[in-house]
Chain A
Amino acid sequence: GAVVSQHPSRVICKSGTSVKIECRSLDFQATTMFWYRQFPKQSLMLMATSNEGSKATYEQGVEKDKFLINHASLTLSTLTVTSAHPEDSSFYICSATPLAGVWNEQFFGPGTRLTVL
């Protein structure tokens, strides 16, 4: 149980294009989904917190117009990197907290490797 999927697993795009990453909780409904970014050999940096039907809450320093988050249902959240540039290249990981689970418990997706040329 508690499986989270992400799609795509890997994406390469040209500078200036937009990329959408999907995060789905496959066998549970999620109260909250989180988006992280991780650089090589570094820890996870929380970008934003998203609840179904609400606007996402972004962490300080994260550009909300750059990283658009849509939380359409209790099982799906999307992150769109708009007008991507090489510095946006990173490993993006989502997580989800089950509706019927332990507060603060987060299950992670497998991650999406974004490379912007």
Chain B
Amino acid sequence: QQQVKQSPQSLIVQKGGISIINCAYENTAFDYFPWYQQFPGKGPALLIAIRPDVSEKKEGRFTISFNKSAKQFSLHIMDSQPGDSATYFCAAPSGNTGKLIFGQGTTLQVKP
């Protein structure tokens, strides 16, 4: 069973700062690692995802950095805004079933 460990559990950042959330996964031969953003009372929304054939992927203010040898990947939110305040989940594939295993979540608060 795939395990995904996410840290930190919570994070407070000043507006304009960089938010960094980390995830570690176990052995996997699969190639898709997404990050989801969830606001209270809403379903998770796919934010950005990466395949391990690249070490970094950037979409706007959001960047995923991927370290295949360390089995780690991280989400960087540049120029963090109060509207980014949400819970973020990383995920990794589990087996060949299309299932995803989610990290424990990180609650981000961006202070104005």
List chain A positions with a Cβ less than 8 A from chain B: 2, 4, 6, 31-32, 34, 41-44, 46, 49, 57, 91, 93, 95, 97, 102-111, 113
Bound: A41/B32 CA distance, A = 25
Bound: A42/B87 CA distance, A = 10
Of the candidates B30, B42, B103, the one whose C-beta lies within 8 Å of that of A104 is B30
Bound: A6/B103 CA distance, A = 24
Of the candidates B45, B97, B105, the one whose C-beta lies within 8 Å of that of A49 is B97
Chain B residues lying within 8 Å of A91, measured Cβ to Cβ, are 41
**Closest chain A CB from B6 CB (angstroms):** 8
Count A-B contacts at CB 8 Å. Answer: 61
The answer to whether A108 and B34 touch across the interface, beta carbons within 8 angstroms, is no
Enumerate the 7 nearest inter-chain pairs by beta-carbon distance, A residue then B residue, closest first. Answer: A108-B43, A104-B32, A111-B43, A110-B43, A108-B44, A44-B102, A104-B93
Of the candidates A31, A107, A111, the one whose C-beta lies within 8 Å of that of B98 is A31
The answer to whether A103 and B44 touch across the interface, beta carbons within 8 angstroms, is no
Q: A43-B105, A110-B43 are in contact. Are A104 and B100 (CB under 8 A)?
A: yes
* Residue B85 at the chain A interface, CB threshold 8 Å: no
Chain B residues lying within 8 Å of A44, measured Cβ to Cβ, are 44, 89, 102
Bound: A41/B49 CA distance, A = 23
Bound: A113/B97 CA distance, A = 27
Bound: A6/B32 CA distance, A = 26
* Residue B36 at the chain A interface, CB threshold 8 Å: yes
Bound: A32/B89 CA distance, A = 21
* Residue B99 at the chain A interface, CB threshold 8 Å: yes
* Residue B104 at the chain A interface, CB threshold 8 Å: yes
Please give me the residue from chain B that is nearest to A2 by CB atom.
B46
Bound: A95/B103 CA distance, A = 17
Chain A residues lying within 8 Å of B30, measured Cβ to Cβ, are 104
Q: Which chain B residues (44-71) contact chain A, with CB distance < 8 Å?
A: 44-46, 49
Chain B residues lying within 8 Å of A95, measured Cβ to Cβ, are 43
The answer to whether A97 and B105 touch across the interface, beta carbons within 8 angstroms, is no
Please give me the residue from chain A that is nearest to B92 by CB atom.
A104
The answer to whether A103 and B32 touch across the interface, beta carbons within 8 angstroms, is yes
The answer to whether A43 and B100 touch across the interface, beta carbons within 8 angstroms, is no
